């Protein structure tokens, strides 16, 4: 009974190949006359096939909370994300986009869902976006290589569609644990996804420049560098927000 479905599939495959007769393991001389014809035993009652096993659905969000809480440090959190298999977005990713910069920095930047180039590099903020980000924070004396810690709202890209509510529920515990372990003085949210995950609301143009609290730390919403590249007229507001961030750090 344990191999019923496998045996049945093998038999159906042979029938499709054209098999019309079941052969024995050893040759049988059908012209031999048996000394005594045995009376056939009564047929046993036909038993029903075993039920098809039903896959139990796993609560990915609950598993994520357990895995994230069990991470004692940033290396442990990275390992937990590498081992997490319940988010479908991971199957389409090339690399884990975890973080870059100094984990001991006072400022932690949380970007958007990784783009294709970020997925290839396994780093947040790459290419022209990184060049502009470096210039933005250098203008307020925060070199991204040594005084800023950067990560993405999601560790894997989401393709053309934004992450679903189910995806957000699974990744949010990891992101909150990431902030707690890095322990920055200020969190900078760059992107709608980060705002939705940590503030419970979107609308970057409406939220930019505002302060909130994230995992017990002050957080400010800034325009993503990609927005500034597409619409340079937003740079004036971005500069004002950067000055507000600098004032917060100094005061």
CATH of 60-250, one of 3.40.470.10, 3.40.50.2300, 3.40.1190.20, 3.40.50.800: 3.40.470.10
Q: What angle do CA 54, 56, 62 make, to 5 degrees?
A: 170
The pLDDT profile of the chain, 251 residues, written as one tens digit per residue, is 578 888 888 888 888 888 887 777 777 776 776 666 667 677 766 677 777 777 777 888 999 999 999 999 999 999 999 999 999 999 989 999 999 999 999 999 999 999 999 999 999 999 999 999 999 999 999 988 789 999 999 999 988 888 999 999 999 999 999 999 999 999 999 989 999 999 998 888 889 999 999 999 999 999 999 999 999 999 999 999 999 999 999 98
Q: Which residue has the tokens 């039920």?
A: 51
pLDDT value for 239: 96
pLDDT value for 56: 72
Of 202, 170, 174, give the one whose Cα is nearest residue 189.
202
d(CA 134, CA 140): 10
pLDDT value for 198: 95
Cα-to-chain-centroid distance, residue 152: 11
Domain ranges of the chain: 60-250
Within 8 A by CB and 6+ apart from 70, the residues are 76, 80
Q: Which residue has the tokens 């957080």?
A: 219
């Amino acid at each position: 009974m344990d191999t019923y479905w496998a045996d049945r599939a093998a038999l159906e495959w042979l029938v499709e190949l054209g098999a019309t007769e079941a052969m024995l393991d050893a040759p049988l001389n059908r012209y031999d006359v048996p000394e005594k014809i045995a009376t056939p035993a009564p047929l046993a009652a036909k038993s029903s096939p075993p039920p098809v096993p039903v896959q139990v659905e796993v609560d990915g969000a609950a598993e994520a909370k357990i895995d994230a809480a069990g991470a004692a440090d940033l290396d442990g959190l990275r390992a937990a994300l590498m081992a997490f298999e319940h988010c479908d977005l991971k199957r389409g990713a090339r690399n884990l986009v975890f973080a870059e910069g100094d984990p001991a920095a006072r400022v932690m930047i949380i970007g958007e869902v990784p783009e294709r180039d970020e997925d290839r590099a396994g780093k947040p903020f790459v290419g022209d976006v990184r060049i502009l980000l470096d210039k933005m924070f250098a203008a307020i004396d925060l070199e991204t290589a040594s005084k800023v810690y950067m990560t993405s709202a999601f560790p894997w890209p989401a393709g053309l569609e934004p992450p679903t509510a189910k995806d957000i529920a699974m990744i949010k515990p990891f992101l909150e644990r990431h902030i707690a372990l890095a322990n920055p003085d200020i969190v900078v949210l760059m992107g709608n996804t980060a705002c939705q995950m940590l503030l419970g609301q979107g609308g970057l143009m409406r939220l930019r420049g505002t302060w909130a609290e994230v995992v017990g730390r002050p957080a400010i919403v800034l325009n993503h560098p990609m927005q500034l590249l597409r619409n340079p007229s937003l740079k004036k507001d971005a500069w004002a927000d950067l000055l507000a961030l600098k004032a917060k750090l100094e005061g």
